[in-house]
Structure 1
Amino acid sequence: MRSTSTALGLAALTALLLSGCQMEEAPRDAGAPPDPTPTDRRTTEPGAVTGDFQSYSEDATAVTYDPEAVPEGASVNVSVTSKGAPPTIVTMGISGLQPDRDYGAHVHTKPCGAAPDDSGPHYQNEEDPQQPSTDPKYANPDNEIWLDFTTDADGSADASASVDWVPRQGEANSIVIHAEHTHTEPGHAGQAGDRLACINVPL
């Protein structure tokens, strides 16, 4: 009887072990590409950011530094299409701003901070060795991403930009809204007045 019980026990244990082996995940092919990560905008679907402007906090999507020009509660949505090869297309819709007004907007290098200047300079595909950059050779809508817009009677606007390059990973992190349309003349190129608001948009 003991021999029969032992044999049955071994058979059951063997079946259980075989069943567990079959449930193990098949090993990844060594040559297969790694799974894409949510922060890699060059290999995943186009990025999208939506939020309402508010005073600065560490988790704020959109920050206003001038609540009169960019009121708290005004809304913005941004989409970025970049899949590892040009073009890079950025589109922005915004509402709740002052009506019939010109605003400037550019992609900047750093995330939004508590102070307007915390977002750093404009992102440039070819970096100007002289900073702040006011040379039209570098400060122009082909070498930077400009999203200037004019609001309608309801305070809404849409803007888009397309450039024939892809931002360097981790070096383009926000869109800053400025007080006026962007200048293009030498010595003032790229300037657009005070920084009124900022949107965290890693490109």
Structure 2
Amino acid sequence: MVAGMVAGAVAAAVLAAGGGVPDGADGGTDGELSSSVAVAAVADQYWMRAEARFAPPTAFIPSPAVTYEQGLVPAASWISVEQRVDERGTTVTARVRGMTPGHAYGVHVHQNPCGASPEAAGGHYQHVQDPVQPSKDPAYANPDNEVWLDFTAGADGSGSASAHHLWGFRPGGAGSVVLHREPGGAGDRVACFTVPFGSPPGESVEAGETVEQPAV
């Protein structure tokens, strides 16, 4: 699928920071991978994959993946986030390695990029935005109106989750994936990964566009 998108793509780029990215590497090895981003977009399709190793906010070499609690998200643990947009909607998939075995994490797409403070990521991305912020109304704060990627780490510390929606992100409206201490709609933020979410070149969603209220 990716090859078909890149052929004749409007934009395609691969960026790496830190070490190189070995052929076929997915962050599960002991290589020098720090972070990488790959993007492909053509007509009505968009594909993005970003991966990185977590580092504390005070790390000498900064990372787009920041851990605020190394007891649950150790430094050098790994995360990847993939976004696929086509005529069937938007699918976001998160994969991790090196987490605390058996721990259940809450994971959501948030509005802003990560920062030194957990609060820098802002609130959850919402397809229909709650006029009252921070949003606590279950009519808005739910997995149908937001992107929830909760998972429980396996015995080896790995985990994954996917979410599919018929809607796409507003341009510039989604900026990160945040890991929370527990699954559900809220909880302490233990880590954050800045992600370049996007949309197909021909797709534009106006901030003031009227959309159907999600079912409660």
Please confirm whether the aligned pair reaches a TM-score higher than 0.5, indicating the same fold: yes
SS in 2 for 1:66: coil
Paired residue type of 1:174: S
The match for 1:200 is 194
Superposition pairs of residues 39-188 of structure 1, within 5 angstroms: 43=42, 45-56=46-57, 60-83=63-86, 85-182=87-184
Query: Is the 8 Å Cα contact of residues 11 and 41 (structure 2) preserved in structure 1?
Result: no
The range that moved more, 58-67 or 88-97, is: 58-67
Q: Any stretches of 5+ residues in structure 1 without a counterpart?
A: 1-34, 183-189
**Aligned partners of 2:10 and 2:181: how far apart in 1?**
38
Matched residue, 2:3: none
Q: Secondary structure of the residue that 2:94 maps to in structure 1?
A: strand
TM-superposed CA distance for 1:61, in Å, is 2.2
Task: List structure 1 segments (4+ residues) > 2 angstroms apart after TM superposition.
Answer: 35-45, 56-59
Give the Cα separation in 1 of the matches to 2:124 and 2:40: 20
1:140 CA displacement: 0.6
Q: CA deviation at 1:177?
A: 0.2
2:52–2:80 contact (8 Å) kept in structure 1 = yes
Residue type of the alignment partner of 1:178: H
Percent of pairs identical after alignment?
43
Q: Is the Cα–Cα contact under 8 Å of residues 55 and 65 in structure 1 kept in the other structure?
A: yes
Tell me how far apart the structure 1 counterparts of residues 139 and 153 of structure 2 sit (CA, whole Å): 29
**Per residue, is there more helix in 1 or in 2?**
1
Q: Report the aligned-residue RMSD.
A: 2.1
Greater share of strand: 2
Q: What is the aligned residue count?
A: 161
TM-score by length of 2: 0.69
For residue 52 of structure 1, what is the amino acid of its counterpart?
R
Distance 1:127 1:86, change over 3 A: farther
TM-score (norm 1): 0.73
In structure 2, list runs of 5 or more residues that go unmatched. Answer: 1-8, 14-38, 198-216
Q: Secondary structure of the residue that 2:54 maps to in structure 1?
A: strand
Deviation sequence 1:3-22 (CA, Å, 0-9, x none)? xxxxxxxxxxxxxxxxxxxx
| Letter paired with 1:47 | M
